[in-house]
Amino acid sequence: MSTVVTAQGVTKRFGQTTALDDVSFTLTENTIHGLLGRNGAGKTTLMQILTGQNFATSGELSVLGQHPYENDEVLAGVCFIKESQTYPQNFQVRHALTAARLLFPGWDEEFAAALVDDFQLPLRRQVRKLSRGMLSALGVIIGLAARAPLTFFDEPYLGLDATARQIFYDRLLADYAEHPRTIVLSTHLIDEVSNLIEHVLLIDRGKILLDESAEDLRTELVTVSGPVAAVEQVAANAEELHRERLGNLVRATLRGRFDPVERDRVTGLGLELAPVSLQELVVRLTSTSNGAGNLRTAGKGDPR
């Protein structure tokens, strides 16, 4: 599979703060990427730079084969839906959709109309009078109907209710299956999208913490629970991300090579083996208070 985005040592500084610190990664064509991380981790800044809306302080960047800054050819194939998108004051919903139709070469008018129905968006209402959820729905509709080869969704569904979010996931998956494209989804509702995401990019304090396929992560990460001694034995061959203790019993979140053989060994020791949700992983990796990226540091507190 080919690469649609390559970032090499991308750094962004705002005065004294470093928003992105020597970030390198690639995005694979026709894959749904999850760009995860805490508030202020640098997700939005990264997406702004990838879409030519902001400038990197240093580093190399290639989007759809070229540098995105002021590049009409590249940007015609890019759609960036962000929570903070503003619309001209006198625009009604239908005006915003017309603008999107004019600007995105891959725009599908029928699909847009179907989505407007799905989300029950009033076409003649002024955009600034939409509720937060409806405003998000408008962004989601534009992002989906644009059918851009490279689509970014940055917290696309602030204020959307559970039903509307499910509609978004369903339509996204169905349309993605018919019209494969590269999608980057940034969200805090990690559990909800964990089945959608094929590749995980975890960013924390401007650094890439994790860049792996969701499938690899599923085999690498386990929760092991049982007597201390046995858990210690298993943990010796793995990274320990977190540990909870209840009397004599220990529950540890581990990252390592848990292939079928190793899994058999673990269960053979009388330990209970459970998968780790993506959300739990993200919480474990990013809840360290002293310096990001120290995977061995145990997490603080339970996520739930």
Partner 1 sequence: MNRVLPATRVHLITWPTLLAWPWGILLTSFVFNLVLFTGIGDDIEGGPQTGGLVSVYIVTMVSAGQSITQFFPFSLGLSVTRRTFYAAVSLLLLGESLLFGVMLYLCKLVERATDGWGISMGFFAPSFLNSDNPVLQILIYMVPFLVLGFFGIFAALVMKRWGISGLYVLSISLLSLLGLPAVLITWQGWWLAVGRWFGDQSALTLFAGWPALLALLLAGAGLLTIRRATT
How would DSSP label each residue in 210-238? EEEEHHHHHHHEEEEEEEHHHHHHHHTTS
Task: Pick from 16, 86, 289, 290 the residue near partner 1 by CB under 8 A.
Answer: 86
The answer to whether 254 touches 239, Cβ cutoff 8 Å, is yes
- Regarding 104 and contact with partner 1 (CB under 8 A), the answer is yes
- Regarding 85 and contact with partner 1 (CB under 8 A), the answer is yes
Which helix (H) or strand (E) segment is 209 a member of?
strand 207-213
The answer to whether 95 touches 64, Cβ cutoff 8 Å, is no
Min dist CB 92 to partner 1, Å, is 9
Pairs from 265-270 (Cβ < 8 Å, separation ≥ 24)? 265/234, 266/222, 266/224, 266/234, 269/226, 269/230, 269/233, 269/234, 270/226, 270/227, 270/230
Residue with tokens 């058999």: 264
Min dist CB 95 to partner 1, Å, is 5
Residue 146 per-residue DSSP state: T
- Regarding 91 and contact with partner 1 (CB under 8 A), the answer is yes
Task: Pick from 55, 270, 291, 302 the residue near partner 1 by CB under 8 A.
Answer: 55
Task: Pick from 1, 15, 16, 102 the residue near partner 1 by CB under 8 A.
Answer: 102
How would DSSP label each residue in 82-144? ETT----TT-BHHHHHHHHHHH-TT--HHHHHHHHHHHT--TTSBGGGS-HHHHHHHHHHHHH
Min dist CB 214 to partner 1, Å, is 28
Rounded to whole angstroms, how far apart are CA atoms 181 and 29?
7
Rounded to whole angstroms, how far apart are CA atoms 66 and 152?
17
For partner 1, the closer CB: 143 or 226 = 143
- Regarding 95 and contact with partner 1 (CB under 8 A), the answer is yes
For partner 1, the closer CB: 99 or 230 = 99
Of residues 135-174, those binding partner 1 (CB under 8 A)? 142, 148
Min dist CB 27 to partner 1, Å, is 17
Residue with tokens 């339970």: 302
- Regarding 88 and contact with partner 1 (CB under 8 A), the answer is yes
- Regarding 82 and contact with partner 1 (CB under 8 A), the answer is yes
- Regarding 17 and contact with partner 1 (CB under 8 A), the answer is no
Residues in the chain: 304
- Regarding 72 and contact with partner 1 (CB under 8 A), the answer is yes
Task: Pick from 6, 53, 277, 287 the residue near partner 1 by CB under 8 A.
Answer: 53
Task: Pick from 42, 47, 61, 80 the residue near partner 1 by CB under 8 A.
Answer: 80
Binding residues for partner 1 (CB under 8 A)? 48, 51-55, 70-73, 75-76, 78-80, 82, 85-91, 95, 98-100, 102-104, 142, 148
